[in-house]
Structure 1
């Protein structure tokens, strides 16, 4: 599981109901465009507003639509260890290749609490598990020394590090060795992270330009720095403006403009504001998407 891994949105109808037909079509599109793996119901997939049954159904549908053509990583994190274990068990049952578990949000566990949380999930469910550190969204920062401890747990196989701090990438690699998978969770710095030894990018931008993101990642992973940076420069404005408002508000609006999904998004998230629409529309036009 290396390269461009899309943090897939969950398409919804205008009333907020999951749009199953569009979901299947998105998976087919990503396979055709060269995306290397798919995260189903990660935080970009609005995991926080899907109920347990819906969550499982979306993961199951993505696995079914992928038909083994690309790996599927199920987002199964929660701020309750018991809930995370339940979601992870369900993902294993349904055939996910791995699980991605965001750090517990709001309750702000200590580093020891993080260690105990992730170890408990790993011991409860025998499936490859990827840690996910995104303190800008969770108010919880998992430090490299904690990652190093967790890397000793056999089925904890990697981390999505979304701080955008390249020194973190370097330190985690030094602490955890070459067999521990490291994914950038920050599109703007992903190329440099991969050139430093990261294994790929779990990407928001890949939702709208999957073929370009796959090419960027392939070049970076081959060490073709000039080519990777040149390709990335063509879409770096998307890395910025797809976060003009809280993710996944802008990326869902962009996909709607491209005719790939309907307008649905769930409260407390709201549709992209008019001023932000103009910003993103200009960027999409400059990138040849409109």
Structure 2
């Protein structure tokens, strides 16, 4: 089971020639761990997952497995998705035999599977990984929107613990009304619109801004869960953080901040970062 209410969706480090920098990625995770972060998502929702080929993802997993302290003391969630189901299956099988805590199961971009095809895709990967699974619904990026019926059906699998970016208030209510479990979680993808999402049922956070401000974002989210309004002082602090991270391209801004701190996170793969 995945118990942490907040995980940080970490960016992938690249060298100047855009090749993979595994140690740079792990250096950032180590730094977050030292700051008290208990859960991270690797190869996930920072928009870089589909720029990584299967071999690169395998290499990141191999690098993580060598980090015994991190693997032992953190919830490490790994993003699993591919345009080709066969490659997602191979990645899932690899993860099954590791101490990685869970997976975030994304849907293929561009190819627009039917709901039936997507259900089979998800079921197959969940079976192969045999890890606690967060479904990741991201129609803005993939063009595919997982249906309420599919979400409810997949929630009947014990390994499925929640969904990231389920959708609107109306959709979340329909999902909740249609399932027979109270241990299914709704993850907000990033901090934009978070206050509103918490009000209509989102109860966990896949954080972007937490890469740079882990303590502040975690405390803000915990406060939002406990009460509908936070203090004016905290609002001003969060507003400043949001401006730094989300004014422009969030992943580009994050990498600038982390590089400035001395974390060798490097550049983005073009065309991201062209400006």
Q: TM-score range by the shorter chain?
A: 0.7 to 0.9
> 1:50 aligned to 49, 52, 59, which one?
52
Identify the residue that residue 79 of structure 1 maps to in structure 2: 83
Question: How far did residue 217 of structure 1 move?
Answer: 2.4
TM-score normalised by length of structure 2: 0.86
TM-score normalised by length of structure 1: 0.82
Identify the residue that residue 12 of structure 1 maps to in structure 2: 14
Identify the residue that residue 31 of structure 1 maps to in structure 2: 33
Question: How far did residue 198 of structure 1 move?
Answer: 2.9
Are residues 1:224 and 2:227 paired?
A: yes
Taking the aligned partners of 2:44 and 2:71, their CA distance within structure 1 comes to 20
Quick check: 10-19 or 255-264, which moved more?
255-264
Distance 1:168 1:261, change over 3 A: farther
Question: How far did residue 142 of structure 1 move?
Answer: 1.1
Taking the aligned partners of 1:175 and 1:35, their CA distance within structure 2 comes to 34
**Map of 1:91-170 to 2, 5 A cutoff?**
91-161=95-165, 163=167, 165-170=168-173
Distance 1:231 1:143, change over 3 A: farther
Taking the aligned partners of 1:100 and 1:262, their CA distance within structure 2 comes to 22
Give the match's secondary structure for 1:248: helix
Question: Do the aligned partners of 1:7 and 1:45 also contact (CA within 8 Å) in 2?
Answer: no
Give the match's secondary structure for 1:225: coil
Taking the aligned partners of 1:41 and 1:263, their CA distance within structure 2 comes to 16
Taking the aligned partners of 1:32 and 1:72, their CA distance within structure 2 comes to 15
Question: Do the aligned partners of 1:162 and 1:185 also contact (CA within 8 Å) in 2?
Answer: no
Runs of at least 4 residues off by over 6 Å: none
Taking the aligned partners of 1:147 and 1:34, their CA distance within structure 2 comes to 32
Which 5+ residue runs of structure 1 have no aligned equivalent?
Answer: 274-290
**Map of 1:179-258 to 2, 5 A cutoff?**
179-221=183-225, 223-227=226-230, 231=234, 233-236=236-239, 238-239=241-242, 242-246=245-249, 248-258=251-261
Taking the aligned partners of 2:40 and 2:99, their CA distance within structure 1 comes to 13
Question: How far did residue 228 of structure 1 move?
Answer: 7.7
Which 5+ residue runs of structure 2 have no aligned equivalent?
Answer: none
Number of matched pairs: 270
Question: How far did residue 81 of structure 1 move?
Answer: 1.8
Question: Do the aligned partners of 2:27 and 2:264 also contact (CA within 8 Å) in 1?
Answer: no
Taking the aligned partners of 2:232 and 2:100, their CA distance within structure 1 comes to 32
Give the match's secondary structure for 1:253: helix
Question: How far did residue 244 of structure 1 move?
Answer: 4.4
Taking the aligned partners of 2:157 and 2:130, their CA distance within structure 1 comes to 11
Taking the aligned partners of 2:232 and 2:97, their CA distance within structure 1 comes to 40
Question: How far did residue 134 of structure 1 move?
Answer: 0.9
